[in-house]
Structure 1
Amino acid sequence: MSNIFEDLFIFEMANSHQGSVEHGLDIVHAMGKIARKYNIKAAVKLQYRNLDNFIHPDYVNRQDIKHVPRFMSTRLNYDQFSQIVDAIREEGMVTMVTPFDEDSVDWCMDQGIDIIKVASCSALDFPLLLKIAETHKPVILSTGGKTVADIDKIYNFMTHKSCEFAFMHCVAEYPAPMERLQLDFIDKLNRRYPHITIGYSGHEDPEDNTIPMLAVAKGAKILERHVGLPTEAITLNAYSMNPAQADKWVEASLNAKNICTLKKSDEKYISQEEIDSLHSLMRGVYLKHDVKAGEEIKREDVFFAMPCFDKQMTSGEFYDGVIASKDYKANDELHEKKKITDISLVRSVIHDAKGMLYEAGIALGNDFEVELSHHYGMQHFRQFGAIIINIINREYCKKLIIVLPGQYHPVHAHKEKEETFQLLYGDLKVTISGKDRFMEPGDIQTVLRGEKHSFTSKHGAIFEEVSTTHIKNDSYYEDEKISGLDPIERKTIMRRW
């Protein structure tokens, strides 16, 4: 892996450089001066959209659809963008582009762009992510408006595709209120994904340089701001920096690198305003042709375009095999939702389990077996069960047990096996022969042969189980509904996840 992300400053062109090549070149030259002054690794970021198919044909010339008039008025062609890309290289800076559709990814490849950036509104646009992953370019993904579960999903997708990538903490409000910046979330991202570079993309008051300093203190290795160049005819928006402000932003950030220490963080808040802001930029699913109720809808039957309306399926939600619940006409919005199946439930809990392992800093390697114990069915797994990772089973046995928040593993005993638990992460209540013990990380508890025991966790737990040899059918449950089941009915086994 390269270190292209480390200590990177990103200058994003404000308002698509007004759709002017000349103005864009002026911004590039201004940022190049700042990069040389401070001898920093800097990138100038552009935005690409193939407007011929990015916007639904019925809305191309509409003035009442958010963003469409701006996109159309600042439109540049491939050759015009190439002039700006060449100027960025001549200034000795990194080239970076945010593509919002698949055609734009092809432009990036043709121009040899160094880094591809994924905007927050596209972070769950899996058709677009797949196209980007196939480029094998370094990728930076913004996480504005995304829950921890969303980010886990993105992490797993990019990891499975063997991508070199980084995450940016971002609050997608323009400008972003100070009370919603939540810079502690940078700490959480660093803990949860210790091998991934984490950065911060800011939209706060351009005059406030305490924010980038705090972001650096929280562990941000990449910093990004919108930049522009005011003229007699151009006024910058409330979240974009002029060259003088950008200069001070870089200086403050470099000072922070010399004086900061890292702190811990907690959960993330996403405002409705942020969700609405991002949704206005998402691509919706539309029908290419008429479809009757009950017919199966495949990828070739749909296209993705903005705008995306309320309750419409987004491009990231689409999957092959959607069943139409009503008749649709060509160019209609698709209003279907994915059904919850055992497969989707399994995928959901596996993503949660992986996220807990990431945050706990526990590496599994490649040689293990995953067992989902769903005593009352997969639909009730988050209430009853556990995720058991079988690592070694010889004369001695080692397992890792993951208990999801609020999950309870029912009362049972073993006749042949003796086991000892050590809590590695989270909180755990173990009940043995009717007596409760509340464990903290590092605590050890032995369960003797024949002792009835159960366990549960309030916030989630990972504990190690070391025991004598594990023997199939050696778990005897107190509940006759469980004991009457064949083990294959209450277990799902996976070799890879």
Structure 2
Amino acid sequence: MSPFNFNGLFVLDLANNHQGDLEHATNIIRAMGEVAGENGVRAALKFQFRHLDTFIHPDHTAGSSNKHVDRFLSTRMTNQQFARLADEVRNSGMITMATPFDEESVDLASDLDIDILKVASCSATDWPLMERIAEANKPVIFSTGGLTMKQIDALVSFFDHRRVRCAIMHCVSIYPTPKEHLHLNQITALKRRYPDKVIGFSTHEEPDETSPAHIAIGLGAGMLERHVGIETDTIKLNKYSSTPAQVDRWMKAAIEARQICGSLERVPPQPEETEALRSLMRGVYLRRPIAKGQLITRDDVYFAIPLNEGQLTSGQWVEGIVSTADLDKDQALTTTEAARPKPDDTQALTSAIHGMKAMLNEAQISLPPTFETEFSHHFGVRKFQEVGATLITFVNREYCKKLILQLPGQRHPAHYHKAKEETFVVLHGKLELVVEGRHYTLYPGDMQLVQQGVWHEFWTDTGVIFEEISSKHGLCDSFYEDKSINSMDADSRKTRVNQWGRYQLLPAKTNRRMAA
């Protein structure tokens, strides 16, 4: 069975707003199902389960000083009534969910085949209850109201250790929550701390407020939760519960925010965006007449708008262009009238470095100020983006520690080592590795041993960063299946520099904007 997908989920908490009335609860469920259906969202209707006969101490069943007791008792519903309401949730096209506050209620959720269990903030350190919830073998969402990060860490580890798929709701347990106490940046903090978890926002602000939903989605919240109910002539909602109309506006605000935020992947520009930018770009124009075959220098040109079709942009200007036709003063220099110099080999490396630095930033991997870098380009520097790898060496004594980086689409040819044994540990991205004919797909945290004399090759579709931990690395200890590589001297198939080689990779006439 595939794991439950928490992303995009709207949680509608019925709580005690059913007032202990089956008909009223049914009306709420049907109204919320209609709102969810009209907005085309995945919604879970959440019950709160308490086995009141044991949940409340017998001395407090009457005249209790605890403000919750009278409400819990006055809105009591039977298990049979909850069973009918769970069926109503399913008939309304929603997912069933429940917050159990005691062990007996976990059993009730299991008996009713409730889809998701919720851990309330007040129960997050109730370890006997957590044990029973973990045993139920259901996806779990837990709220973090009033918890320290240490307590959240403990709960994440608790569920991970028991292989319970869980998601986390940022929550502030003040009802309603003033804006200055929403602390929505905690969504970002939780996403950074638990990158493998879906982080949501359980809202307790006043129900007409929709801006927190916009902001929460913008910060990366994958789920939203809100208390819901219906008002009648005799039933009034509390200050943090929403009517169907308010839920509708809230859902629409979240949907709009998702549209505004868009994809995390860099999207190609729209045609109108490209046209708008081109209308402001400068083109290359001739400052004086130029004869065919003449070298065009920087003093011979100027940059101005408008940019004509086929004209070189100012960003495409490089030294060394030769005219292929007679050109007049103020004439636009086009691509057909300009023989541009072939790019220097090092530009392929410096361009790749820009991408690798970005990968390290994305993976949040910091490098020390001192290291050695080796660019392996087995079929030439210009094919480095296809066949190549970048090896960053930190230590090479009796043991060796390296980072190996590959950009999307790069591969490293099949080879073996006579002296060196190595272990690969993936840190970021996905690595495709073949060892003695066996294909492995490695993800962050995966590890693979490669012993001496063992044939291996690797590549990546996504881009990858992995550690190589090995015995001491020596020159001329790589033997390739492709004999043409073995016949090359090391300096012709490798470029070695200190750090990123900012100046070592720059020939005298190379355009310095390409510097690493």
What TM-score, normalized to structure 1? 0.54
**C-alpha distance in 2 between matches for 1:71 and 1:393:** 67
The question of 1:396 aligning with 2:394 is answered no
**C-alpha distance in 2 between matches for 1:51 and 1:397:** 63
The alignment of Structure 1 onto Structure 2 pairs a total of residues equal to 283
Verify the 8 A CA contact 2:12 2:46 in the aligned structure 1.
Answer: yes
Q: In the alignment, which residue of structure 1 is the partner of 2:119?
A: 118
* 1:225 to 1:468, Cα distance in 2 relative to 1, 3 A: same
* Mapping of residues 191-202 of structure 1, within 5 Å: 191-202=192-203
**C-alpha distance in 2 between matches for 1:165 and 1:27:** 27
Q: Match of 2:6, SS?
A: coil
**C-alpha distance in 2 between matches for 1:213 and 1:53:** 41
Q: In the alignment, which residue of structure 1 is the partner of 2:59?
A: 58
* 1:16 to 1:100, Cα distance in 2 relative to 1, 3 A: farther
Q: In the alignment, which residue of structure 2 is the partner of 1:153?
A: 154
Q: In the alignment, which residue of structure 2 is the partner of 1:220?
A: 221
Q: 1:190 Cα shift?
A: 0.8
* Mapping of residues 425-440 of structure 1, within 5 Å: none
**C-alpha distance in 1 between matches for 2:105 and 2:209:** 34
**C-alpha distance in 2 between matches for 1:110 and 1:14:** 19
Gaps of 5+ in 1: 264-358, 363-391, 400-423, 425-463, 470-497
Q: In the alignment, which residue of structure 1 is the partner of 2:173?
A: 172
Amino acid at match of 1:154: L
Q: In the alignment, which residue of structure 1 is the partner of 2:249?
A: 248
**C-alpha distance in 1 between matches for 2:233 and 2:74:** 19
Verify the 8 A CA contact 1:194 1:361 in the aligned structure 2.
Answer: no
Q: In the alignment, which residue of structure 2 is the partner of 1:445?
A: none
**C-alpha distance in 2 between matches for 1:393 and 1:201:** 51
**C-alpha distance in 1 between matches for 2:262 and 2:144:** 24
Q: Match of 2:77, SS?
A: coil
Q: 1:22 Cα shift?
A: 0.9
Q: 1:52 Cα shift?
A: 1.1
Amino acid at match of 1:143: T
Q: In the alignment, which residue of structure 2 is the partner of 1:233?
A: 234
**RMSD (Å), alpha carbons:** 2.8
The question of 1:26 aligning with 2:63 is answered no
Q: 1:66 Cα shift?
A: 2.1
Q: In the alignment, which residue of structure 1 is the partner of 2:390?
A: none
Deviations 1:236-275 (A, max 9, x none): 1111111111110001100000112799xxxxxxxxxxxx
* 1:227 to 1:467, Cα distance in 2 relative to 1, 3 A: same
Q: In the alignment, which residue of structure 1 is the partner of 2:185?
A: 184
* 1:68 to 1:398, Cα distance in 2 relative to 1, 3 A: farther
Deviations 1:265-317 (A, max 9, x none): xxxxxxxxxxxxxxxxxxxxxxxxxxxxxxxxxxxxxxxxxxxxxxxxxxxxx
Amino acid at match of 1:224: E
Q: In the alignment, which residue of structure 2 is the partner of 1:106?
A: 107
* Mapping of residues 254-293 of structure 1, within 5 Å: 254-260=255-261
Q: 1:38 Cα shift?
A: 1.0
**C-alpha distance in 2 between matches for 1:195 and 1:136:** 19
Q: Match of 2:31, SS?
A: helix
**C-alpha distance in 2 between matches for 1:16 and 1:243:** 13
Q: 1:90 Cα shift?
A: 0.6
Q: Match of 1:15, SS?
A: coil
Q: Match of 1:200, SS?
A: strand
* Mapping of residues 10-25 of structure 1, within 5 Å: 10-25=11-26
Q: Match of 1:151, SS?
A: helix
Q: 1:17 Cα shift?
A: 1.2
Q: 1:59 Cα shift?
A: 1.5
Amino acid at match of 2:249: K
Deviations 1:458-496 (A, max 9, x none): xxxxxx999999xxxxxxxxxxxxxxxxxxxxxxxxxxx
Q: In the alignment, which residue of structure 2 is the partner of 1:421?
A: none
Q: 1:398 Cα shift?
A: 5.6
**C-alpha distance in 2 between matches for 1:80 and 1:97:** 14
* 1:393 to 1:236, Cα distance in 2 relative to 1, 3 A: farther
Q: In the alignment, which residue of structure 1 is the partner of 2:210?
A: 209
Amino acid at match of 1:238: K
Deviations 1:204-258 (A, max 9, x none): 0111111111111111111110011000001111111111111100011000001
Q: Match of 1:18, SS?
A: coil
Verify the 8 A CA contact 1:17 1:24 in the aligned structure 2.
Answer: yes
Look at both structures and tell me which one has the larger radius of gyration over its CA atoms. 2
Q: In the alignment, which residue of structure 1 is the partner of 2:378?
A: none
* 1:12 to 1:466, Cα distance in 2 relative to 1, 3 A: same
Deviations 1:335-383 (A, max 9, x none): xxxxxxxxxxxxxxxxxxxxxxxx9878xxxxxxxxxxxxxxxxxxxxx
Q: In the alignment, which residue of structure 1 is the partner of 2:131?
A: 130
Q: 1:61 Cα shift?
A: 1.8
Verify the 8 A CA contact 2:17 2:228 in the aligned structure 1.
Answer: no
Aligned identity (percent) is: 50
Verify the 8 A CA contact 1:16 1:47 in the aligned structure 2.
Answer: no
**C-alpha distance in 2 between matches for 1:130 and 1:167:** 18
Verify the 8 A CA contact 1:8 1:222 in the aligned structure 2.
Answer: yes
**C-alpha distance in 1 between matches for 2:250 and 2:162:** 35
**C-alpha distance in 2 between matches for 1:157 and 1:18:** 35
Verify the 8 A CA contact 1:217 1:261 in the aligned structure 2.
Answer: no
Q: Match of 2:122, SS?
A: helix
Verify the 8 A CA contact 1:49 1:101 in the aligned structure 2.
Answer: yes
* Mapping of residues 322-333 of structure 1, within 5 Å: none
What TM-score, normalized to structure 2? 0.52
Structure with larger RCO (C-alpha < 8 A, sep 6+): 1
Deviations 1:190-212 (A, max 9, x none): 11111111111000011111111
Deviations 1:395-419 (A, max 9, x none): 31669xxxxxxxxxxxxxxxxxxxx
